[in-house]
Structure formats: C-alpha cells, structure tokens
C-alpha cells in the first residue's frame, strides 16, 4: 500500500508525456526489463529527489523457491556500499574525541605487526595502508565465500602478514582489510559491536528500521532476498556465511536508503561536519588527490558531480549513486551476480537528468550494460616446457597464509594442488613465472630456483612460499 501511494503521488507530480511518447517510469522499467519476470532474480530501484522517493519498484523475485517478489521493502546485502556507514562511525567517534584519524592503528589493534612505517586510521579509510586484502588471504588459504568464516579468522590472517603491498600512503589500492580493521577500531574505541554502534548512532536515529550490520550468519533476516548467480541451468543460490563487518555486511532496503540519502541534505546524524568529513578526498604522500573520499567515490558522470559506491558480495550487487548539486540519487539493489547495478543506476540517472547531462561518449552510452572482457596476457616464447617444468615441482609453505601448496605436473601442465584437489593449472611465462590469469607466481631465479616463490593475486602482493619438500 505504501509503495502504491508513493507511485500515485509521483504520477501526479510528473507531467504526462505527449501521445506516442514513453513516460519516464516506462523508460526506467525498460532498464530493468530483463528481470521483470517470475522466474528470475532481479533488482529493486529507488529514485530519490529532494529527500523523497520519486519512484520505487522491484523487478523479479527475492526468493525463487518461495515465489516471493522483490519490493521496495526487500532486504539486500549491499556489500562494499556498506563502507560509507563504517566511515561515518569512525568519524562520529573522532567527533567525540575517542580517536583521531592520525592515530597509529596499533594504538587500537596492538596485535598488528609493526611495519617499517606506521599505518594510520587515515590510511585505512582512504585505502592507502598497503595492507593485503583479507578476502584474498582467506581464499588462498582454502576458504570460500559460501562457507563460514569469523572476524577472528580475518584478523588472524591480517596479523600473520610480514609485509605490506606498498609503503603506507604511497599508493591507492582498494583493500577490504582496511575497512574490516576500522570496524574493529569502532568496537574497541566504543566498547560496542560494529552492529550495535551503527544501530544506536546511525540507523535508529534515522529511522532505518530494516537496516543492520549482519555479524551472525545464523540470525534470520525478515524479507531478505536470496542471492543468486546465473548458471547453465538458470540460476544457483549464491549466499555467504562470512561474519566480518566494516568492509561489507550492511543489509538494507530501498526505503531505508532514502533516509540515509536525506541525511546528506538535512543532517540529523553527525551534522554538516560529518558530511564534510565523509566527502574529504584522500591524498598520497606526494600530495596527489584521490577520487576516494571516506567510504565514498567522488567523481563525475557526463559533466555532473557524483558521489557513489558500489557493492559486490556472493550473489548480491548494489549501487548508491548521488548527484549532490541536483539533490538527486539512485539506489539499485540486486540479488543476481550478473545484474550490473552500477551501469543500471547510471542509465536511470540519464533518464531523469537528461536535460542537465553532457552528451554521452560513444563507448559509454547510457543503458549499455555489457562490459568488454580483458584479454589474457599472451604466452611468451621464453616459457619453459616439457622436462624443464619438473624443476618447479615440490611442496611449498607460506607462513603468512599458514597454508601449504603442492606444485606438480598434470598432463604436462604445472598445477597447484591443495588438500581436496587441484587449485589452479598454470601457464608458463618468462622469467620463471607462471599464471592462471588471476594469480601469478615467480620463482627465485638461478641456483636457488626451487627454494621458493612469491605469489601475487588481485589485492595481495608478494606472498612468500618456501619449499619444504620434493
């Protein structure tokens, strides 16, 4: 009933199209038409203008097995879109004098290693810490997103790291470890869990009754959408039982996100000082400015300033895109891994703001929802083959992962094995290096060739493995 009333009010407020022309809402519905079925997961979209819902609708099913449709009140895991709430929590604590952004992180998490240069809270919040991403670390150690991992396991994985990806402040590299540690700092500085602190200081004051940090995988969530991924038979359930907070784990709705969006114009939580802090962009040691602020990306879309953040976890995808000067925002929450809500949110924005936008470049026309894959690197002629590959066989241990890899030949291909079976088949490159397209390992050259290697994958650089046996 609530959504019906909002929709009818919107129809009254928007001029009717001329005969033969599509209405704005019909054009928005076309953006989500692939999901507007009873046999598909889909998305909920919320269009916010001047702190009010201009349009809200669900497309597709929240639960295929139970036959429950998506609505504006359906609860989704928003993945990394959660980071802005973690940043806001840190900034609220800074306002109260419980911490400073220039604190050494070890002041709050003393079990972290003491690296050559200190990591500050400011480094964490802007992704300039150099910390290796804990999701990559746990995955390399054998965890999978559909399993169960705890906050302690994530912290232990970070604490085991003997080195950083780079010197703090010298680079920007998105790292979930930083925001997970921010949630740990919130807990230690406030004496409350991340979930309890955010509920008391952000969600409850704003009236976000369907929003929380999900830190207990056994706790039921009313009206929650099930996450899915596409497969050859249609769709498969893709859920996660990981319990870390900070880098993700906020569950919310289109209706609740309106209240958070409204706080950027009528700030009842944190005041204007919080808004200014949230939008403060990071800088590197060389004084260059980053597009990443504090849990938010500051950028532009076809000539208009935008503030946004996407999210991706298990089968969920999310985007919250705001145009502050136009007091306009689009939230797109999806329960299908292939849904691409970031592109769809921009396609919706292009419909509503078309008279204010610069022309779209040909490669990024609004409504274009397909991204081109990046081709794999070409093989090199210097790569070892045949019997030469036997030199790399052996058992290798990483103290930083507390994990053993066995490298052996399978049908003439160097392959990584872990307990339970094959992990990756590797293609040989030059300079004693191998790759499967995602991870790359490089052996120590020369006489010490088989003593160990370094592994790089995504946001994890330079993990050391030492040979322990043949």
Q: Which of 335, 326, 329 is nearest to 308 (CA)?
A: 329
Please tell me the predicted confidence (pLDDT) of residue 365: 43
How many angstroms from the chain centroid is the CA of residue 394?
Answer: 36
Please tell me the predicted confidence (pLDDT) of residue 8: 32
pLDDT band at 17 (very low <50, low <70, confident <90, very high): low
pLDDT band at 7 (very low <50, low <70, confident <90, very high): very low
Instruction: Name the average pLDDT for the chain.
Output: 90
Please tell me the predicted confidence (pLDDT) of residue 296: 98
Does the structure show a pLDDT above 60 at 409? yes
Average pLDDT value for residue range 169-192: 98
Do 85 and 125 meet the contact criterion of CB atoms below 8 Å apart? no
Helices (H), 18-171: 24-31, 83-95, 121-125, 134-140, 151-159
pLDDT band at 420 (very low <50, low <70, confident <90, very high): low
With pLDDT > 70 as the criterion, what percentage of the chain qualifies? Answer: 89
Do 316 and 77 meet the contact criterion of CB atoms below 8 Å apart? yes
Do 449 and 375 meet the contact criterion of CB atoms below 8 Å apart? no
Q: Which of 282, 90, 69 is nearest to 168 (CA)?
A: 282
Average pLDDT value for residue range 24-48: 97
Please tell me the predicted confidence (pLDDT) of residue 342: 97
Do 262 and 205 meet the contact criterion of CB atoms below 8 Å apart? no
Q: Which of 354, 311, 372 is nearest to 43 (CA)?
A: 311
Does the structure show a pLDDT above 60 at 367? no
How many angstroms from the chain centroid is the CA of residue 42?
Answer: 19
Out of 79-88, 289-298, 373-382, 394-403, which region has the weakest mean confidence (pLDDT)? 373-382
Which burial class, exposed, middle or buried, applies to 141 when counting CB atoms under 10 A from its CB (0-12, 13-18, 19+)?
middle
Average pLDDT value for residue range 359-381: 49
**Residue-range domains of the chain with CATH:** 77-364 (3.40.710.10), 386-469 (2.40.128.50)
- Alpha carbons 255 and 273: distance in angstroms, whole number: 25
Q: Hey, is 416 helix, strand or coil?
A: strand
pLDDT band at 430 (very low <50, low <70, confident <90, very high): confident
pLDDT band at 383 (very low <50, low <70, confident <90, very high): low
Q: Quick count: other Cβ atoms within 10 Å of Cβ 7?
A: 16
pLDDT band at 418 (very low <50, low <70, confident <90, very high): confident
Does the structure show a pLDDT above 80 at 56? yes
423 against 275, higher pLDDT: 275
212 against 470, higher pLDDT: 212
Which burial class, exposed, middle or buried, applies to 453 when counting CB atoms under 10 A from its CB (0-12, 13-18, 19+)?
buried
Q: Which of 23, 22, 19 is nearest to 10 (CA)?
A: 23
pLDDT band at 449 (very low <50, low <70, confident <90, very high): low
Do 164 and 130 meet the contact criterion of CB atoms below 8 Å apart? yes
Please tell me the predicted confidence (pLDDT) of residue 52: 96
Please tell me the predicted confidence (pLDDT) of residue 114: 95
Q: Hey, is 444 helix, strand or coil?
A: coil
Q: Which of 419, 416, 398, 391 is nearest to 406 (CA)?
A: 416
Out of 127-141, 204-218, 366-380, which region has the weakest mean confidence (pLDDT)? 366-380
């Amino acid at each position: 009933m609530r959504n019906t009333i909002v929709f009818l009010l919107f129809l009254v407020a928007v001029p009717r199209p001329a005969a033969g022309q599509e209405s704005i809402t019909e054009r928005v519905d076309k953006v989500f038409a692939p999901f507007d079925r009873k046999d598909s997961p889909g998305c909920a979209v919320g269009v916010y203008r001047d702190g009010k819902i201009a349009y809200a609708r669900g497309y597709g099913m929240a639960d295929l097995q139970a036959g429950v449709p998506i609505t504006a009140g359906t609860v989704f895991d928003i993945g990394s879109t959660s980071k802005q709430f973690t940043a806001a929590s840190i900034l609220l604590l800074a306002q109260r004098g419980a911490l400073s952004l220039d604190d050494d992180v070890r002041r709050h998490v003393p079990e972290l290693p003491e690296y050559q240069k200190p990591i500050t809270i400011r480094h964490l919040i802007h992704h300039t810490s150099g910390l290796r991403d804990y999701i990559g670390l746990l995955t390399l150690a054998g965890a999978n997103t559909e399993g169960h991992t705890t906050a302690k396991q994530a912290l232990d994985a970070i604490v085991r790291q003997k080195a950083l990806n780079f010197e703090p402040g010298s680079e920007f590299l998105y790292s979930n470890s930083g925001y997970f540690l921010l949630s740990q700092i919130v807990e230690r500085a406030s004496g409350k869990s991340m979930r309890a602190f955010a509920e008391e200081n952000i969600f409850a004051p704003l009236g976000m009754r369907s929003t929380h940090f999900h830190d207990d995988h056994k706790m039921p969530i009313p009206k929650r959408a099930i996450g899915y991924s596409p497969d050859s038979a249609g769709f498969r359930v893709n859920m996660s039982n990981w319990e870390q907070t900070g880098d993700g784990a906020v569950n919310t709705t289109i209706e609740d996100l309106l209240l958070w969006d409204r706080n950027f114009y009528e700030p009842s939580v944190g005041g204007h000082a919080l808004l200014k802090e949230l939008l403060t962009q990071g800088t590197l040691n060389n004084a260059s400015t980053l597009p990443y602020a504090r849990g938010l990306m500051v950028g532009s879309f076809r000539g208009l300033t935008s503030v946004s953040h996407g999210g991706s976890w298990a089968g969920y995808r999310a985007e919250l895109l705001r145009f502050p000067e136009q007091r306009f925002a689009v939230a797109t929450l999806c329960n299908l891994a292939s849904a691409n809500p970031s592109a769809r949110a921009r396609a919706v924005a292009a419909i509503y703001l078309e008279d204010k936008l610069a022309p779209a470049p040909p490669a990024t026309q609004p409504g274009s929802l397909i991204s081109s894959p990046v081709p794999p690197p070409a093989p090199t002629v210097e790569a070892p083959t045949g019997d030469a590959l036997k030199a790399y066989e052996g058992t290798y241990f990483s103290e930083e992962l507390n994990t053993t890899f066995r490298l052996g030949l399978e049908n003439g291909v160097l392959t990584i094995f872990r307990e339970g079976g094959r992990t990756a088949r590797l293609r040989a490159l030059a300079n004693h290096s191998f790759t499967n397209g995602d991870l790359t390992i490089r052996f120590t050259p020369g006489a010490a060739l088989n003593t160990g290697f370094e592994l790089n994958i995504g946001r994890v650089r330079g993990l050391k493995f030492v040979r322990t046996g043949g």
